[in-house]
């Protein structure tokens, strides 16, 4: 049974920095509830990886199909213990001020819940929203600090030694030097 909800998140950073954060798997170690990310395959715009997450006392190892839909969308399907989950995140600039950029990340979530879990969706949504909020707070610390220090400069993500998903596609849409 399909359960849908949406989350809007405000970020004091440019769309390029927000998208880079989504694609940068090296920063996962800074999240307290996420560990053991392992990429199994990657094409020019899609990847498959596993990621372990902790919600309360429980640990889950989820399989992610992750797709970059340029210039500002990230689509994921996740094989989770709750059932198949589809997530579409869209980053939209709300201020193009180079000194104080801002954007909103609109996240559409759809979970195919088992029939016996569906009646508890009202309890499930706040748990998922709290978990998302915790990750977003940690991400915002990184993104906003980076924005203050470097502005829209994202070329360091494009260095050969830096692991970022879909580097060539990201470069095509956001690099100032090509």
- Rounded to the nearest 10 degrees, the angle between the axes of helix 15-23 and helix 121-150 is 110
pLDDT at 177: 62
* Residue span of the structural domain in which 149 resides: 2-32+71-174
Q: Is residue 6 part of a domain?
A: yes
Gap between the Cα atoms of 31 and 138, Å rounded = 6
Specify if 161 maps to a domain.
yes
Spatial CA neighbour of 59 closest among 51, 67, 71: 51
| Count of the separate structural domains present in the chain | 1
Q: Which CATH number goes with the domain that contains 138?
A: 3.30.530.20
Q: How far apart are CA 33 and CA 159, in angstroms?
A: 28
Alpha helix locations (H) across the chain? 15-23, 121-150, 167-174
Per-residue pLDDT of the chain in tens (178 residues, 90 and over written 9): 999 999 999 998 899 999 999 998 888 877 787 888 899 999 999 999 998 988 778 888 899 999 999 999 999 999 988 899 999 999 999 998 888 899 999 999 999 999 999 999 999 999 889 888 888 888 888 888 887 888 778 888 888 888 889 999 999 999 876 5
Within a domain: 135: yes
Instruction: Answer yes or no: is 42 within a domain.
Output: no
Q: Does residue 162 belong to any structural domain of this protein?
A: yes
User: Would residue 55 count as lying in a domain?
Assistant: no
- The answer to whether the predicted template modeling score (pTM) of the entire model surpasses 0.95 is no
Q: With respect to residue 62, please indicate whether it lies within any of the assigned structural domains.
A: no
Q: Is residue 25 part of a domain?
A: yes
């Amino acid at each position: 049974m399909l359960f849908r909800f949406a989350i809007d998140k405000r970020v004091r950073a440019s769309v390029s920095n927000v998208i880079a954060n989504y694609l940068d798997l090296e920063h996962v170690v800074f999240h307290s509830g996420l560990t053991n990310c392992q990429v199994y395959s990657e094409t020019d715009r899609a990847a498959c990886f596993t990621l372990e997450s902790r919600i309360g006392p429980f640990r889950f190892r989820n399989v992610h199909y992750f797709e970059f839909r340029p210039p500002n969308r990230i689509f994921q399907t996740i094989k989770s213990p709750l059932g198949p989950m589809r997530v579409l995140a869209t980053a939209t600039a709300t201020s193009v001020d180079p000194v104080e950029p801002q954007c909103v990340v609109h996240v559409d979530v759809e979970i195919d819940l088992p029939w016996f879990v569906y009646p508890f969706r009202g309890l499930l949504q706040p748990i998922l929203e709290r978990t998302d909020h915790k990750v977003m707070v940690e991400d915002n610390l990184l993104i906003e600090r980076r924005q203050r220090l470097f502005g829209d400069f994202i070329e360091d993500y494009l260095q050969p030694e830096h692991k970022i998903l879909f580097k060539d596609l990201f470069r095509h849409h956001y690099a100032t030097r090509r």
